């Protein structure tokens, strides 16, 4: 078993293929996202986490993308949104939480191989109008 609490985000630099399932318990539907994630040095001490892909919801396909940053905070790392707002601690192997208005996001990053060749991110989101789990599997191309 990998001690993923020891893996820094720099170890995940490079390009990844990802597949994501979004299981919505309110609607009873599952959406799929597939695409590419790139983690790279942002040049300012942060790592840039960029995702682009396609969301498939039944017969509908939509382009999706987002940018996050992983920034050093003292001896630790933290994930921020593109605009600099805090998202969550970089704590692979541990549950993290993000409050967004009335919604609660509980997540976990699991690194599945010591060489960083595979990892997963799982978010469970609950709130007055949300109840879904989003599972992303990432692998080297």
- Give which of 92, 109, 117 is closest to 12, Cα–Cα: 117
Q: What is the Cα–Cα distance from 132 to 111, expressed in whole angstroms?
A: 22
What is the per-residue pLDDT for 6?
Answer: 65
136 phi and psi angles, rounded to 5 deg: -120, 130
Place of tokens 């001490």: 45
- Give which of 105, 107, 97, 108 is closest to 127, Cα–Cα: 105
What is the per-residue pLDDT for 100?
Answer: 94
What is the per-residue pLDDT for 55?
Answer: 98
**Tens place of pLDDT for every residue, the chain, 141 residues?**
455 556 889 989 999 999 999 999 999 999 999 999 999 999 998 999 999 999 999 999 999 999 999 999 888 999 999 999 999 999 999 999 999 999 999 999 998 765 657 899 999 999 999 999 999 999 998
pTM: 0.91
What is the per-residue pLDDT for 139?
Answer: 94
Given a contact cutoff of 8 angstroms between Cβ atoms, the answer to whether 107 and 88 are in contact is yes
What is the per-residue pLDDT for 3?
Answer: 53
Length of the chain: 141
């Amino acid at each position: 078993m990998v001690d993923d609490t020891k893996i820094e985000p720099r170890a995940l630099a490079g390009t990844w293929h990802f597949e994501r399932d979004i299981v919505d318990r309110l609607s009873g539907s599952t959406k799929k996202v597939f695409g590419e994630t790139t983690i790279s040095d942002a040049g300012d001490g942060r790592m840039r986490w960029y995702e682009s892909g396609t969301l498939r919801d039944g017969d509908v396909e939509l382009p999706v993308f987002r940018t996050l940053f992983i920034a050093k905070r003292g001896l630790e790392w933290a994930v921020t949104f593109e605009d600099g707002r805090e998202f969550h601690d970089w704590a692979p192997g541990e549950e993290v939480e993000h409050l967004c208005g009335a919604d609660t996001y509980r997540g976990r990053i699991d690194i599945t191989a010591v060489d960083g060749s595979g990892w997963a991110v799982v978010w469970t989101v609950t709130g007055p109008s949300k109840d879904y789990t989003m599972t992303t599997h990432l692998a080297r191309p």
